[in-house]
């Protein structure tokens, strides 16, 4: 019996992959996996428990202890609503440090694959196409220039009432790109067979439509 179809959407920070992936999932009635949220949850838990971000094996032992549920756009960790708490820039940066440890990545593999359920899954992250779902029916690498991504992140934060500086965001984003691309374990790469979607000059609707068109061609 064949497994439910997966659309893998990978890309650098603030490329809009989360927004595009969740809209594509909605349109198709598919499940949605925000794999970055899992790394952010490990980052948050490690901060709460005072675990050093350099200690891969210790960090990985946290994973089986995390009781995570995604419900109505809320993320609950061990009984607390952490939806907002995991979205800060500092947790994002901490997540990229935590995510560089192969032990942490390995500990999260089964959890990520458990999201693959009928009628299908849209998964977003860095290694969805290369490592977690190498048999994805469609692989998309969604990207935009660093300047466009910093501007998007800036608008997102301001809209939430969080103060931010564009230059600081650009610097953080470049640091995160470098760490995600240069690490040994599952670096951010354009997977073999992935289609590149450059979104600097595309609206969200245009990006979503392109992915849906590609999916229709892939299953035809
Ligand atoms: O929203 P943003 O793209 O800034 O980050 P995210 O997707 O929530 O992921 C946070 C961090 O987790 C990234 O900077 C990556 O280092 C890491 N990550 C990863 O290594 N592999 C994934 N599949 C997803 C996220």
Q: Name all domains of the chain by residue range, CATH numbers in brackets.
A: 6-219 (3.40.50.300)
The three-state secondary structure class of 118 is coil
Give me ligand 1 centre to Cα 10, in Å. 10
Give me ligand 1 centre to Cα 220, in Å. 32
Atom of ligand 1 nearest to the CA of 17: 3
> Sorting pLDDT into bands at 50, 70 and 90, what band is 11?
very high
- Percent pLDDT > 70 in the chain is 100
Ligand 1 pocket mutation pick from 6, 12, 37, 92 by most atoms within 8 angstroms of CB: 92
Among 49-53, 120-124, 151-155, 208-212, whose mean pLDDT is lowest?
Answer: 151-155
- As a whole number, the mean pLDDT across the chain is 94
pLDDT value, residue 187: 86
- The mean per-residue pLDDT over the stretch 83-103 comes to 93
Give me ligand 1 centre to Cα 180, in Å. 8
Q: Which residue puts its alpha carbon closest to atom 3 of ligand 1?
A: 13
* Structure tokens given for 53: 């971000």
80-92 pLDDT, tens digit each:
999 999 988 899 9
pLDDT value, residue 99: 95
Residue 35, preceding bond cis, omega within 30 degrees? Answer: no
Rg of the chain on CA atoms, in Å: 17
Residues 6+ apart with CB under 8 A from 209: none
pTM over 0.75: yes
pLDDT value, residue 72: 81
Q: Which residue puts its alpha carbon closest to atom 9 of ligand 1?
A: 36
Ligand 1 pocket mutation pick from 84, 85, 95, 164 by most atoms within 8 angstroms of CB: 95
- Distances from the Cα of 198 to the Cαs of 4, 14, 16, 192, 205, in angstroms? 27, 13, 11, 17, 14
Nearest to 162 by CA among 153, 172, 171, 175: 153
The Cβ of residue 210 has, within 10 Å, a number of other Cβ atoms equal to 18
Return phi, psi of residue 209, to 5°: -65, -40
- The mean per-residue pLDDT over the stretch 91-106 comes to 95
Predicted confidence (pLDDT) at residue 71 exceeds the cutoff of 90:
no
**Beta pairing partners, 142:** 197
**Beta pairing partners, 81:** 76
Predicted confidence (pLDDT) at residue 1 exceeds the cutoff of 80:
no
Give me ligand 1 centre to Cα 185, in Å. 13
> Sorting pLDDT into bands at 50, 70 and 90, what band is 123?
very high
DSSP code, position 129: I
Judge whether 156 and 67 are in contact, CB under 8 Å.
Answer: no
């Amino acid at each position: 019996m064949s497994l439910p179809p997966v659309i893998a959407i990978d890309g650098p920070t603030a490329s809009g992959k989360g927004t595009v992936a969740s809209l594509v999932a909605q349109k198709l009635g598919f499940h949605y996996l925000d794999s970055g949220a899992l790394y952010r949850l490990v980052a948050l838990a490690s901060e709460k428990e005072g675990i050093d971000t350099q200690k891969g094996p210790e960090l990985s032992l946290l994973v089986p202890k995390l009781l995570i549920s995604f419900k109505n756009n809320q993320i609950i960790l061990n009984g607390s609503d952490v939806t907002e708490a995991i979205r800060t820039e500092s947790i994002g940066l901490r997540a990229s440090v935590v995510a560089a440890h192969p032990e942490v990545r390995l500990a999260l593999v089964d959890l990520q694959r458990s999201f693959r359920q009928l009628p299908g899954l849209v998964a977003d992250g860095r290694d969805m196409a290369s490592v977690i779902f190498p048999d994805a029916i469609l692989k998309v690498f969604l990207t935009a220039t660093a300047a466009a991504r910093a501007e998007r992140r800036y608008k997102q934060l301001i809209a939430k009432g969080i103060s931010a500086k564009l230059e600081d965001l650009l610097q953080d984003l470049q640091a995160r790109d470098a760490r995600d691309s240069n690490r040994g374990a599952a670096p951010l790469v354009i997977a073999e067979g992935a289609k590149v979607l450059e979104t600097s000059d595309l609206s969200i609707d245009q990006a979503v439509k392109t992915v849906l068109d590609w999916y229709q061609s892939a299953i035809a």
